[in-house]
Amino acid sequence: MRRSIYARFGKSMLDRTAAGLGLVVLSPVLAGVGVLVRQKLGSPVLFRQQRPGLHGKPFEMVKFRTMTDARGPDGTLLPDADRLTPFGQFLRSTSLDELPELWNVVRGEMSLVGPRPLLMRYMDRYSPEQLRRHDVRPGVTGLAQIGGRNAISWEEKFALDVEYVENVSLALDLKILLQTVLQVVRRADVSADEHVTMPEFLGSAHSAPETNGLALAPSPLAAKR
C-alpha cells in the first residue's frame, strides 16, 4: 500500500510540534494532576509500561496512575475494579491520565492519532490482518476511540484500527481529534459492559463480538465508501 506524503513525513512533524506546544500550554494542568495523584494515590505519580510501537518495537509509555497497588493475602495485585478509585475513574473519564503521553509523541514513539498501544503479550495473539495496526505509530486517540472506545469488542476495535491505517490523512486526523474532544466532554464509552476497563484480549477465537441481538455500530468512515 502506497502511503501519502502526509503519512510518511508531515504527520510526524505536526505531531511533535503540536505535542510540544501542548506540553507547554497544559503544564499547569499536568502539574496540578500530578500533585493530586501523589496525594490521593501515592508514589509513583506516573504509570510506566512497555508497549508495542511502530512495527511492534517496544517503547515505554507513560500515563498518570489511576489505580492503587492494593494486593491480596498472597501478594498478587487485586482486580482492576478493586484498585480503581473514584479519583482514578475521574482521570480516566476525562482522559487526564493520558496527558503524559504527549511526551511519548514528542519523542517520536507515538502519534496524536493512531491505534492505541496495547499490551506486549497481545502481539502473538493478533491475526495477520490485526497486526497491520502496527504499520503506523500508536496514538493517544484513534478511530476506535471515536467509534465506541471501550464499549465495542476487540474485533471491532482492530477493524477500525486497520481502517485507519488504510486511510491516514490530515483531514481524518483532525476529524478524530475533534470528535475525541467531544467524546471526552460527554465522558462516553469509558468502560466495557460489566468491566472497569476492557477484558483481556485472548485472541480472535476467544473474543467474538457479543451483539445481544443488536446491530453493530457502523464504521465512522463507512459513509465515505
Average pLDDT, integer, range 170-174: 95
pLDDT tens across 94-127, in order? 889 999 999 999 999 999 999 999 999 999 999 9
Are 125 and 203 in contact, with CB atoms under 8 Å apart?
A: yes
**Which of 51, 105, 68 lies closest to 196 in space, CA to CA?**
68
Residue located via cell numbers 457502523: 218
Place 185 in a pLDDT band, splitting at 50, 70 and 90: confident
Tell me: the pLDDT tens digits for 115-170? 999 999 999 999 999 999 999 999 999 999 888 766 788 999 999 999 999 999 99
pLDDT in tens, 29-56: 999 999 999 999 999 999 999 999 999 9
Sign, CA dihedral 36-41-46-50, equals negative
DSSP per residue over 37-58, as a string?
HHHHH-S-SEEEEEEE-GGG-E
- The domain limits of the chain are 5-199
pTM over cut 0.85: no
Cell 482522559, located at residue: 95
